[in-house]
Amino acid sequence: MGFLTLLTIKKHHPTVICIMGDGETSVTREILYENIHQKYPARRNLEILEAEFGIPLTTLGILTYPSNTIKWIKLIISSLFRIIYLKPHKHFLIIEIPEINKKITEFWLNKLNPKFILITGKSEYEPKLPKENTYNNVKEVLKKVGVKETIKELPQPRIRIYRENNATVIDATSYYIPPPIKSVLELINLPKFGKIILFSNSKKDQKDTLTIFPNALINPQTAQIEPEDVVIKRGNKKYP
């Protein structure tokens, strides 16, 4: 997938913008995308960040995740044919890169070769990145690409995914109607994960979670959180 990504970048020469850091990278990604795609063709990654194949699939323009080996083989073959036969397509590629695994982060930075890097919050990579194309403000990036900022903020995503205390947290709390628990559970498509820990008073949440993940922990009073664990938070946003 890294090789296909590299070939695609060389074929189409997209303007790649990478977003990194421990801040609101997903919201920043959406603000950049909404402003840029009003003027230029643009794509951004939507896949759960911990699923590392989300980055090459976005680069290749694939919107579905292959569910078995045969579909992966077909995807690779069809992607090679498109790279060979399709005409170059100039566009913007807005990629949010998680800083969860150093090897993976550096791998994709090298393959994508971004023209702009936007740091939100703090990033351990910032001192090593080239200063001439590293920015800390959305407005600066938009100015560089020649786009007037018309959308300055977006509402928080309904389901937030972030890292906390070395674990992956899926915040599916809500003000009124919660997102379906099955939609939340579908986000857990990591290549490898540890314990599933659910915090919810809903009997349906608990039942559906145990149906899909029989070993899930439900509302534990104490639990040893490991780096590969997934914590799901449900309930009222005002009083989580």
Which pLDDT score, from 0 to 100, does residue 240 have? 42
Name the β-bridge partners of 161: 170
> What region does 87 belong to: left with phi over 0, alpha with psi -120 to 50, or beta?
beta
Task: Name the residue type at position 4.
Answer: L
Domains belonging to the chain, first-starting first, are 2-145 (3.40.1190.10), 160-233 (no CATH)
pTM assigned to the model? 0.66
Q: One digit per residue, pLDDT tens: the chain, 240 residues?
A: 999 999 999 999 999 999 999 888 888 888 898 899 989 999 888 655 555 688 888 899 887 777 789 989 999 999 999 999 989 989 999 999 888 778 888 898 999 999 999 999 888 888 788 888 899 999 999 999 999 888 876 666 678 888 887 788 999 888 666 788 888 888 886 666 789 999 999 999 999 999 999 999 999 988 788 888 899 999 887 644
